[in-house]
Chains A and B, each alone.
Chain A
Amino acid sequence: EAQVTQNPRYLITVTGKKLTVTCSQNMNHEYMSWYRQDPGLGLRQIYYSMNVEVTDKGDVPEGYKVSRKEKRNFPLILESPSPNQTSLYFCASSAHDSGGVEQYFGPGTRLTVT
């Protein structure tokens, strides 16, 4: 089954404790991205990757890191989480193409930083 998976689905952590949220897709997609979703603010892009070893900042990259060492994986790293990073996070992927290429979203990771 074609899918995007994220782990963990739920995480409660404390300020300053490094964490990684994994994202994996089995569709051989070139393009992957991370979003955060907050009430009243909608989906905002954190980072995206057009292919292996190619990453770029989105609209809200501060406090986050990513890596793309393999095509299928695109982990999101919070080196020193803070309470303002409490949010619902989505990973998404799509094939490399121009035009109407839909993005497939993972199930989401709900992160709480205390």
Chain B
Amino acid sequence: GQNIDQPTEMTATEGAIVQINCTYQTSGFNGLFWYQQHAGEAPTFLSYNVLDGLEEKGRFSSFLSRSKGYSYLLLKELQMKDSASYLCAVRDRTGNTPLVFGKGTRLSVIA
């Protein structure tokens, strides 16, 4: 079966760095996505990893280790507006096939 695990909730301080982990067990692997979702709003795309290593995009970075079935999203210089849920999703087959989503990690940024 497909299984994607993320912590349910995290709290971090404004200006700090936070790392949100995601582990996955899927029948195949063709890429891992991170989405941000503010309460009551639609998810928005943050990053995509298909090869091992770190992808950096401004304050956000995402890391992938395929051999370990592991990814993390790193948020630097946290701002209050970063308070949101962060969703890890895996594409388990080649082609534009459905994503399997984790349940999301709700991040609260406090002053």
A residues apposed to B, CB below 8 Å: 30-31, 33, 35, 40-45, 48, 50, 58, 88, 90, 94-108
Contacts and interface: CB of A to CB of B under 8 A. Distances in A.
B95 A98 contact: yes
Chain B interface SS verdict (over half): loop
Contacts, number: 56
B40 A108 contact: yes
Contact of A43 (B31, B50, B87): B87
A105 B50 contact: no
Interface residues of B, number: 22
A102 B57 CA distance: 15
Contact of A97 (B48, B96, B99): B96
Contacts of A43: 43, 87, 89, 101, 104
